[in-house]
Amino acid sequence: MHTITYILKTTIVYMLLCVFTFLMLRGIVEYLPMRDDIGFLQFKKDYLHILPWKIAFYTHVFSVILCLLAGFTQFNNDILRDHKKLHRVMGRIYAYDILIINFPAAMIMAIYANGLLPTKTAFVILDCLWFWFTYKAVVEIKAGNVKAHKEHMIRSYALTLSAVTLRLWKIIISSIITIDPLPLYMIDAWMGFVPNLLFAEWLIRRNRNKRRINLTA
């Protein structure tokens, strides 16, 4: 029974990863022509002449997929058990991609985000938390604190997945109610990562409770 449950859970997770990857790749391919009149860029005409913003945009778009795929390997028990070197290599790719490449790129994009202060604030908070949890995950594993490392990685990856949930919430909200693009973007900016972080905290606490039960059993 335990084996069947594990197989089902693993299958569901991999199916979700495939869906997420497909959504991200579809979004990335859209920008390969490097034109200014497609997708999200249609709403950023006021910023297209700002070179740092444009560099940050394409850097973020084309590199965030590495975070999603590399981060996923950090939670795969088979890789962790049988391929520890691969786990470490992918972990470094994940951390470097966020801390060195995507954090500064996403911060520039956050500052120039469409909408009023609430939208900009949401993306700045998201980016800072993303950096902090990833940094803490690196610090904890270097110190040998495996449990703390795992918990910070859960938080970090929950925020990495905001690249996907931002798009999903936009589809969900716009299909339920009729709303102008600017208010929709403002709501989406918060919904894209706050529920993810709440779920991550719930998952961390559930894992802690399981460990306590196992210790007292």
Q: In the prediction, which pLDDT does 58 show? A: 87
List the structure tokens of 194.
């706050």
Q: In the prediction, which pLDDT does 217 show? A: 57
Q: In the prediction, which pLDDT does 16 show? A: 74
CA dist 27 → 38, 65, 153 (Å): 11, 10, 25
At which residue do the structure tokens 């990833």 appear?
A: 134
CA distance 69 to 153: 14
Q: In the prediction, which pLDDT does 194 show? A: 97
Q: In the prediction, which pLDDT does 15 show? A: 77
pLDDT digits over 86-119, tens only? 889 999 999 999 999 999 999 999 999 887 899 9
Q: In the prediction, which pLDDT does 1 show? A: 54
Q: In the prediction, which pLDDT does 123 show? A: 96
pLDDT beneath 70: ranges in the chain? 1-3, 6-7, 10, 13, 33, 39, 215-217
For the residues of 164-193, what is the DSSP string, one character each?
Answer: HHHHHHHHHHHHHS---HHHHHHHHHHHTT
Closest CA to 57 of 78, 23, 31: 31
Q: In the prediction, which pLDDT does 48 show? A: 82
Which strand (E) or helix (H) includes residue 142? helix 117-142
116: alpha, beta or left, given left = phi > 0 and alpha = psi -120 to 50? beta
Q: In the prediction, which pLDDT does 216 show? A: 66
Q: In the prediction, which pLDDT does 100 show? A: 96
Q: In the prediction, which pLDDT does 215 show? A: 67
Whole-prediction pTM: 0.86
Q: In the prediction, which pLDDT does 213 show? A: 75
